[in-house]
Amino acid sequence: MGDLVELSWGRQYLAVEPTAYRIDYAINPFMDPADQPDPARASEQWQVMVHVLRALGARVDVLAQRPDSPDMVYAMNLGLALADEAGRPEQVVLSHMRYAERRAERRSAGPWFAAQGYAVRQVGVDGVGPCFEAGDAFAWGDALVVGYGPRTEELGLKALAAEIGVRVRGVRITHPAMYHLDLAFCPLDDRRAIVCPAAFDEPSAQALLDLVPEPLVIDEAEALTFCANSVVVGRTVVMPACPPRVRAQLEAWGFEVVLLELGEFHKGGGSVRCLTNPLDVVIGRDLPSVAGGEVVLPRPR
């Protein structure tokens, strides 16, 4: 694996302890208020996840969950946090949630990010302005790759690009169960990523595959195990599931796979990636600045 250049981010995370996690409503195909998570089991699974990440050398900060925000445990969607070239907090774009049920989360997220030294930015608030959810955004190559459709609106791409002055490459999500990009796309290193083409319309699927020099392509059934909703710490992929074919390819590339049981959180529609928000993406190195921002959308061939 001599040519592998590890991700420059993924060693600092924000997580929300599941003290008020429950299913009060259904805003994705996995949620059913009749099928409630077991609080003790959920707490144990979350604690093990945090322990594993810290044991791998990652820093994990913990934010208290709001009693009125049962989905807040899915911390990936609190906001898109960016650091400066020295790794210090720089700015965060708070998510403007599509569903009103999740909008109270920013009342805790905003003050927390501000207290850490982030300049707090937003593209919309309380249903006014375009929706943007951070679970749709990943740094990749020369841009942010941002999924749009089910949660993030297409107008949100332009607002995000302009707000932080970067190139945004949009990909349209069409699969109802992969409603965020983090359920269908997982960067592994500087050349490789897990990609599920079934999550996107055809031009977007092709555009994403063209962006990744060595994609690990998974099918719909594999994606619905939440295997793309994983995090990478150096050369270790922390996963909730790893189908045999996926494991074989990861290990052939030199990655180590660590499996976690997070079934209680799958009831709410998320897994390892949804439960953790990376804090160490660096604008300038990971995301070159673009004056005024730029949005690139896939074109049919």
CA-CA distance, 291 to 293, in Å (whole number)?
5
Contact 8, 286 (CB under 8 A): yes
Spatial CA neighbour of 224 closest among 28, 10, 21, 22: 28
Running DSSP on this structure, what letter comes out for residue 104? G
Give the domain range for residue 81: 12-296
Q: How many domains does the chain have?
A: 1
pLDDT value of residue 192: 98
The string over 54-85, giving b where at least 16 C-beta atoms fall within 10 Å of a residue's C-beta and e elsewhere, is eebebebeebebbeebbbbbbbbbbbbbbbee
Q: What rounded mean pLDDT belongs to the chain? A: 96
Q: Which amino acid is at 183?
A: L
Average confidence (pLDDT) over 8-33: 98
The DSSP secondary structure of 162-181, one letter per residue, reads HHHTBEEEEEEB--TT--SG
In a domain, 6, yes or no: no
Contacts of 62 (CB under 8 A, 6+ apart): 14, 15, 16, 17, 50
- 182: which 2 tokens? 């983090």
Average confidence (pLDDT) over 101-120: 98
- 55: which 2 tokens? 């044991």
In a domain, 2, yes or no: no
In a domain, 277, yes or no: yes
Q: At residue 1, does pLDDT exceed 50?
A: no
CA-CA distance, 232 to 236, in Å (whole number)?
6
In a domain, 149, yes or no: yes
User: Which of helix, strand or coil describes residue 201?
Assistant: coil
In a domain, 3, yes or no: no
Average confidence (pLDDT) over 166-192: 97
- Give residue for tokens 């555009």: 207
Phi, psi dihedrals of residue 257, rounded to the nearest 5°: -105, 130
pLDDT, tens only, 128-166: 999 999 999 999 999 999 999 999 999 999 999 999 999
In a domain, 176, yes or no: yes
Contact 94, 111 (CB under 8 A): no
In a domain, 1, yes or no: no
In a domain, 143, yes or no: yes
Average confidence (pLDDT) over 107-117: 98
- Give residue for tokens 């913990």: 62
Percent of the chain with pLDDT over 90: 93
Residue 47's domain is classified under what CATH number?
Answer: 3.75.10.10
Q: Which amino acid is at 241?
A: A
Phi, psi dihedrals of residue 35, rounded to the nearest 5°: -120, 85
